[in-house]
Amino acid sequence: MCHKEMAPQNIKIIYFDARGRAEVSRLMLAAAGQKFEDVRHTKETWPTEKPNTPFGQLPVIEIDGKRFAQSVAIANYVAREFGFYGKTNLEGLEIDQVVQLGMDFLSAAVKSYHEKDEAKKAELNKSLKEVEAPKYLAFFEKLLKESGTGYFVGEALTLADFFVYDLTYAFGKRGVLSLDSYPLLQELQNKVESNEKIKAYLAERKETEN
């Protein structure tokens, strides 16, 4: 639930000029109608900014002048602060389960991203597209079917929905996965994008490769 009496006055999301690991938090802030400063660093500005971050990495969230790091911690905070973390601890557990499942997929994807050997990279990309992606999409589809509401948890958007939406959007754009065989995931994507505040955010969002 929202803690309006303690709501932060000034929020900055500090990241690179990309969707990447900051986008889930941006999406939730947009959906909550919370104004925030979207600070995007380039290769040129990052070396100067790096010493000002808690651990020398991005994303960072700045809340009323205080900075915090780690993308999942940031997303969890935003979800709790603005009502996207379920109504009970059990719902929170369900949300965490979905997010961690998505993180497992991202771990598999990162292997190919960092591989220098082109032959091994091609092999990893093939496995990601033909084995890993279908496996995780099937898991997500199953969870949506079990929920029966069109959302992963409860009857409204939560961190779980935003996380999977962003993941499937990003890797769909790269041609790694397709939702053609996953109607409930397609429906979820439509639910997120038809949210009026998200729709407005997406209309203004800068187009980036990642």
Q: What pLDDT shows up at residue 112?
A: 86
What gap in Å lies between CA 186 and CA 181, rounded to an integer? 9
3-state secondary structure of 11: strand
Tens-place pLDDT, residues 86-139? 999 999 999 999 999 999 999 999 888 888 999 999 999 999 999 999 999 999
Mean pLDDT, all residues of the chain: 95
What gap in Å lies between CA 207 and CA 5, rounded to an integer? 36
Percentage of residues in the chain with pLDDT exceeding 90? 92
DSSP assignment of 92-155 equals HHHHHHHHHHHHHHHHHHHHHHH--SHHHHHHHHHHIIIIIHHHHHHHHHHHHHHH-SSSSSTT
With 80 as the cut, is the pLDDT of residue 1 above it? no
Q: What pLDDT shows up at residue 49?
A: 96
Q: What pLDDT shows up at residue 5?
A: 53
Tens-place pLDDT, residues 62-85? 999 999 999 999 999 999 999 999
With 80 as the cut, is the pLDDT of residue 3 above it? no
Q: What pLDDT shows up at residue 52?
A: 97
